[in-house]
């Protein structure tokens, strides 16, 4: 009898081990393909997620419009339903902006409103280039995200990336997947991933803040848009690699200075899940960590639905904020002299670095906090050096009010708007200092 029981246990254990390996391999491969592999479909080269979003936007335009209206209504109502709107001053302000965002969205969709709102570079730009793509991308990305983060890949790669990520960026090795997903895929998906891992207790407050503000830049697809706008496609390879390297160099610096360097190195859950520091037998340890992660996950379908729910909640929170705050930033940049005044903060840097058009460059840097595409529009007719520098700064600055900042505020990462503005300023200045000599060498 004992032999029979032992054989049964062995069979059960082998089945469990086989299923764990199967889930790890298949789910990780699908996740990697979804986020990191580019291929051409309908004459467009991008990753799977972007192709899915484009297909839905093209073939189900009416559905997307109705879905966006529902998300805007739910997003504006949610803080009042959950009674969190008056929790603190930030929640009060953001709740007001969400209600305003709902109003703006209804005006744009219904076609009713003032002429300035329907200027192609204002309302339609926000709706078609930001609201609809981001609204569709976040929940779909959340589903594929479950495959990327829940079945051992983070733990497996994290063991090997510890010697790189910890000394350079002060983040766990597992954040390497997060960094690449953010840079190659999308800031919204990257921040969704960061927030998910943070809530699981795998990032501390400081680590999550470094990742959110240091890696969650615009996608490669949008980099192509910027390069096309500025006629830099002839220098695409240089633009891409310089943007990537400079962005990560700036992140390594900001991770060590205030305010990021002084954030609490604590978990928001009672018992965090810190990464085990590995110094030997990396392959064996990586495999063991991956299998443990697979075994401790909820059932497959339940896991996907949980990620979808979180994606929809983030979409509700983000869309009305992007509309209202983004519109405010665009209006201030286009119709007021505020950013002309802010530009004077950067003039000493552009003058000391001997840039060919110091005032124009300074204004382009100033408007980057409002909307990531605005700097490119300001320097379309500038010299190639100015275009290159402004383009790289636009990517490396990361933080802007029309999208990324509202997304970060909607996560559980405790960063204030004041801290985000300070980090934006640091990133702009550091990027300018690093990219200027490179631009002069190239051109």
* pLDDT tens for the chain, residues 1 to 443: 545 544 543 444 455 588 889 999 999 999 888 877 778 888 877 778 878 888 998 899 999 999 999 999 999 999 999 998 988 787 888 899 999 999 999 999 999 999 999 998 889 988 987 788 888 888 888 888 888 878 888 788 888 888 999 999 999 988 887 777 666 556 777 888 899 889 989 999 999 999 999 988 766 657 777 887 798 878 888 888 899 899 999 999 999 999 999 999 999 987 788 887 888 888 888 898 889 888 888 888 998 998 899 889 888 988 898 888 878 877 887 788 999 999 999 999 999 999 999 999 999 999 999 877 788 878 988 999 999 999 999 999 999 887 788 889 888 999 998 999 999 999 999 999 999 999 999 99
Residue 14's Cβ-count burial label (10 Å; 0-12, 13-18, 19+) is exposed
Whole-Å CA distances, 284 to 26, 157, 242, 275, 280: 20, 12, 36, 15, 9
**Residue 254 CB partners (closer than 8 Å, separation 6+):** 210, 213, 214, 260, 423, 426, 427, 430
Give the strand pairing for 44-47 and 38-41: antiparallel
Helix (H, G, I), strand (E, B) or coil at 45: strand
Helix (H) or strand (E) holding 47: strand 44-47
Q: Which residues contact 346 (CB under 8 A, 6 or more apart)?
A: 361, 362, 365, 366, 428, 429, 432
Tokens found for residue 207 = 């680590």
Q: How far apart are CA 193 and CA 154, in angstroms?
A: 11
| CA proximity to 251, closest of 174, 171, 189, 190 | 171
CA-to-CA distance for 311 and 297, rounded, in angstroms?
A: 18
Distance CA 8, CA 14 (A): 10
What is the pLDDT, as a whole number, of residue 273? 82
Phi and psi torsions of 40, nearest 5°? -95, 130
The pLDDT score that the predictor gives to residue 348 is: 96
- Among 389, 363, 385, 359, smallest CA distance to 374 is for 363
The string over 203-238, giving b where at least 16 C-beta atoms fall within 10 Å of a residue's C-beta and e elsewhere, is bbbbbbbbbbbbbbbbbbbbbbebbebbebeebeeb
Report if pTM > 0.85.
no
Q: Could you tell me the two tokens for 244?
A: 């990537």
Assess contact for 127 and 98: CB atoms under 8 A: no
Decide if 187 contacts 219 (C-beta within 8 A): yes
**Residue 357 and residue 70: Cα distance in Å, rounded?**
46
Find the helix or strand (DSSP H, E) in which 211 lies.
Answer: helix 205-214
Rounded distance, CA 130 to CA 323, Å? 9
Tokens of 146: 């479950």
**Residue 315 CA: distances (Å) to CA of 135, 353, 390:** 6, 41, 30
Tokens of 395: 């990517």
Rounded to an integer, what distance in angstroms lies between the CA atom of residue 150 and that of residue 100? 37
Q: How far is CA 351 from CA 218, 297, 360, 385, in A?
A: 28, 55, 11, 14
Q: Give dist(CA 287, CA 159) in Å, integer.
A: 9
Check residue 115 and give left, alpha or beta (phi > 0: left; psi -120 to 50: alpha). alpha
DSSP 41: E
């Amino acid at each position: 009898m004992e032999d029979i029981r032992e054989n049964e246990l062995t069979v059960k254990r082998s089945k469990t081990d086989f299923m764990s390996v199967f889930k790890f391999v298949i789910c990780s491969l699908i996740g990697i393909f979804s986020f990191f592999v580019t291929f051409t479909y309908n004459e467009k080269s991008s990753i799977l997620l972007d192709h899915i979003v484009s297909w839905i936007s093209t073939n189900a335009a009416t559905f997307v419009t109705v879905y966006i209206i529902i998300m805007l209504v739910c997003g504006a109502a949610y803080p009042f339903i959950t009674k969190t709107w008056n929790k603190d001053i930030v929640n009060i302000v953001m709740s007001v902006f969400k209600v305003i965002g709902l109003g703006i969205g209804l005006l744009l969709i219904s076609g009713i409103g003032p002429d300035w709102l329907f200027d192609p570079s204002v309302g339609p730009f926000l709706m078609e280039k930001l609201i609809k793509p981001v609204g569709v991308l976040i929940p779909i990305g959340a589903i594929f995200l479950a495959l990327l983060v829940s079945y051992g890949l983070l733990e497996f790669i994290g063991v090997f990336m510890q010697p790189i990520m910890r000394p350079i960026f002060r983040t766990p090795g597992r954040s390497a997947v997060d960094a690449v997903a953010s840079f190659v895929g999308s800031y919204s998906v990257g921040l969704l991933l960061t927030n998910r891992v943070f809530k699981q207790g795998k990032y501390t407050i400081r680590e999550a803040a470094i990742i959110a503000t240091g890696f969650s830049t615009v996608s490669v697809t949008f980099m192509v848009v910027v390069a096309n706008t500025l006629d830099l496609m002839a220098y695409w390879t240089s633009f891409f690699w310089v943007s990537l390297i400079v962005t990560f160099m700036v992140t390594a610096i900001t991770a060590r200075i205030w305010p990021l360097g002084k954030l609490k190195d604590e978990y928001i859950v009672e018992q965090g899940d810190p990464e085990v520091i590995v110094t030997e037998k990396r392959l064996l340890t990586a495999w063991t960590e991956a299998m443990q992660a697979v075994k401790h996950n909820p059932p497959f379908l339940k896991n996907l639905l949980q990620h979808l729910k979180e994606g929809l909640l983030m979409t509700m929170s983000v869309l009305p904020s992007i509309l209202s705050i983004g519109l405010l930033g665009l209006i201030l940049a286009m119709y007021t002299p505020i950013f002309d005044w802010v530009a004077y903060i950067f003039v000493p840097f552009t003058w000391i670095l001997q840039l060919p058009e110091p005032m124009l460059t300074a204004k382009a840097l100033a408007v980057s906090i409002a909307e990531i595409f605005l700097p490119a529009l300001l320097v379309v007719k500038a010299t190639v050096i100015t275009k290159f520098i402004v383009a790289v700064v636009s990517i490396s600055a990361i933080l802007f009010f029309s999208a990324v900042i509202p997304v970060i505020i909607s996560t559980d990462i405790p960063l204030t708007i004041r801290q985000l503005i300070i980090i934006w300023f640091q990133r702009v200045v550091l990027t300018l200092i690093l990219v200027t000599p490179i631009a002069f060498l190239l051109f």
